Structure 1
Amino acid sequence: MQGAIQRGALSEALLMSPRARILPFQLSSVIKSIAKDMNDEFLGLSENALPMGSFLLLARNAIHSQNLYEIYKSTARALKVMTTQLSLELIQGDRFSRVRFHIKAKDGNASVILCELALLIWHRFPSWLIGERVHLEQVRLPFKAPTHANEYPLLFGGKIEYNCEFAELVIPNTLLKSPCRRSLQELNGYVSELPKLWFQYMDYGSRSVDISGACLNAMQMLASTSMHKVAKSLNTSIRTLSRKLAAENVTFQKLKAVYLRDKALNLLANDQLSIEQITSVLGYTEPSAFTRAFKQWTGNTPHHYRKMVRK
């Protein structure tokens, strides 16, 4: 484990800080290292391991599907052959279908992590296969809201329900006919970027991308957190944008904080800019204002965070 943490460019001091943030490439590196060291894509969190290369087999099986319905159905069949620790079933209703997950983990904490990963992967990978973000009407979780629950709307979109009987993704039936648009060659390129792609915001240029993700992508493209500019780039009004964000249980101010926080983390991980320069890049008038904001986001000052990263 220590080796995986070091390869992820993380320090023990950083990990011991309850509210500290890490970057997608760091999380990706740690997960990849743990899986490789243990030869287990379940990361040692289940009773029985899932050998390395298992997701690749599932992905190569799924890419031959005609549509989203077949992607989930074929994956459910393949999982039955590969493991007893994770299963998936597609349950169709009148208007919505539920992608239900059954997960066997070592303990409660492991169950939460595996549940998060399973739902994240089997939402984002099928979204990539069909070339648009699969809209989630609801995400149902079989545990109480964790301390990081405010991250879930940004990860999934849609309404989050806790203490449910099963872990489920609830999707509109109309999406089940969405065709698989990817080739085997594209899949090879996709897999080479894993698991980093699972921890980044999705945007496949689709009209169905969740509005929160669209806002974050617009901020990155514009290098601006102006609500007026973001709304204009999305061809909508500020009022309509606010209403759509409210439907996803997210505010523009929350997204602005996420954008600035992640940009600050990237800049602080690079020694080329001073704290004063980063303050200016992020649009703060003075370092003290940036320090207050950063401490609210992470529980640490920019100086302390940079010191922990360097260790």
Structure 2
Amino acid sequence: MKKGNRPPLRESGEGESSGRGMRSSVVAATVHFAVSHGVSMEQITANTGLRSEDLFDVGDRLPDHIVANVWQLIDAIRPGEAIPLKMASAVPDTYFGVLAHVWRYSEDPQNVLNLFVRFHKTLADRLHLEVSQGSNETSVHFSHPSDSIDGGCGAEVGAAATASFGRKYFGGDALLRVQFAAAAHGPLKLYKDFFGVPIEFETGRTELTFRTDLLASSIGKIDSDLSDSLVQYLEEVSAVLRNEAEPSFLKGIRKAIEENARSADYSIQGLADRLQLSVRSIQRKAKKRNIRLIDMVNEARMAHAMKLLSSQKLNLEEVSFLLGYSEVRAFARAFKRQSGQTPSDFRRSVR
């Protein structure tokens, strides 16, 4: 296909988020894997509008529907082969981008988890992550809107690649069990052999569960100066992703949230007042764009919380006050609900 005549990169479906998409390293790895397993680049171009040179020309992000569509092509010609596990075994650390380098120089797996919670959207804008941490077990649940398109293939790759990375750098004893929302794409024995722990499918959730005590085990590889530099870079990338290529409505909301945060106001009413709109009006505008305002506010509040807790100069009462909470207990409950850790545990992990 000639350069001037190829179809444009297709947009996401109506009603989907208009974020910047998925990290190009994830898209490139999936495309290269597909081509090496029998899918032609011509098929990929016809299905998605993507050309091989786009993997280098489009910069750091590509539309996230591409990966789901490519997985549909792979699954059609290689059914029943647990092909996502093969990809997870083959992808390099660069699949995770800069996050992989930060993880390699982290003090312990718990800090790795904290960083994943903090910067997971540098991998994909619409990746959703929840952490539930107890005294014995810590579960990481993740999902993406594309899961319903690719039958869970992308989720399998992500879970398997994460498990492989963990074994490589932190040892293999921390993982306790694995759950997948979708059905298996091959014989169960292949999955059991790969993960080495109990595994379930069609549970409605994709989740990795770890031993909490082993997450805190020191691995003695920390390089604090390098780690700090990489974290700073990720913060800059996150800021760019929040602001670039966003509709003016979203930019206005983010700006209003940041301005209100200076006075510890994280309420929807305060947000509406700042934008000079009624609550009903701003909620209606957000709903049309498939946006949950409370999620945007909580995401900003969580980012501010982590930044404040990373400094040892403020006590928890002061942090709670700056975040608009009436008492420390309310802040602690909200923080643990979103990160899986108490504020004190998070602060200790980033010292």
TM-score by length of 1: 0.42
TM-score (norm 2): 0.38
